[in-house]
Amino acid sequence: MNDGLARRQVGESAAGERPAVRGFILASDLRALRGWLPGGLDDLLDALSADERALCRSVRPTAWVPLELIERLLAAAAGALNVRPAELADRLGVALADQKIASLMGVAVRARSPELLVSNAGYLWVSLYSPGEATISLDLPSHKRIEVHGGPPHGPAVCGRNLGFGRRALEMTGATAIRIVHFRCISGGDPHCAYDVQWGEGGTAR
């Protein structure tokens, strides 16, 4: 699908930089929450507008979905489950990796290469979020530092998800002793987000 058309589908101009996530993230979240929430998705969707409910029921995987909708769904689901939003976002990130990492970075999984996976942080960011750019600021064997510049103001819907997604994706490449520290966060007043990523000897260096 043309990305400009995908943006216009949810009311965003192709030139705009409205904070957004790919539709497959919304679909993954809803699939996971349907199984985790005692009453399924009914109460969660009833709180949305008619347009938002329609989007949830028929979202296209490559469409851009407003980040604000994802954040509201996360907050409501965390309340229903009586867990912290950051904890739930981490779990949703794990579920997303289980569903999507093979199509996003299957070459790294097949090669059992955590180095290849993390070195493609920039590609993974733009595959998931808009706007922003992820770059590697420290590049050592089994130790990388990822910085995200120009990203939207956000909370656990992005940061917590990235921790769960990154940890599970690394596990799928065979990495062991995984340690991901989110030591800078724009939601806490820092100018950008930054993650320190380290792992053991489980995979093949590339």
pLDDT digits (tens, 9 = 90+) for 30-48: 999 999 999 899 999 998 9
In one-letter notation, the amino acid at residue 18 is R
pLDDT at 16: 54
**Residue 6: band (very low, low, confident or very high) from pLDDT cuts 50, 70, 90:** very low
pLDDT at 153: 79
pLDDT at 18: 85
Characterize the bridge pairing of strands 193-198 and 179-184: antiparallel
From the list 191, 200, 178, 24, the residue with the least C-alpha distance to 98 is 24
User: Where do runs of H (alpha helix) occur along 10-158?
Assistant: 23-36, 42-46, 50-58, 67-81, 85-110, 114-119, 121-128
Average pLDDT, the chain: 88
pTM for this entry = 0.88
Distance between CA atoms of residues 56 and 105, nearest Å: 26
pLDDT at 14: 35
SS3 content of the chain, % helix, strand, coil (to 5): 50, 15, 30
| 157 has a pLDDT exceeding 90 | no
Mean pLDDT of 128-141: 96
Distance between CA atoms of residues 11 and 66, nearest Å: 9
Q: Determine contact, residues 139/121, Cβ cutoff 8 Å.
A: no
| 141 has a pLDDT exceeding 70 | yes
pLDDT at 206: 35
From residue 140, alpha-carbon distances to 145, 181, 198, 204 in Å are 9, 16, 9, 14
| 82 has a pLDDT exceeding 50 | yes
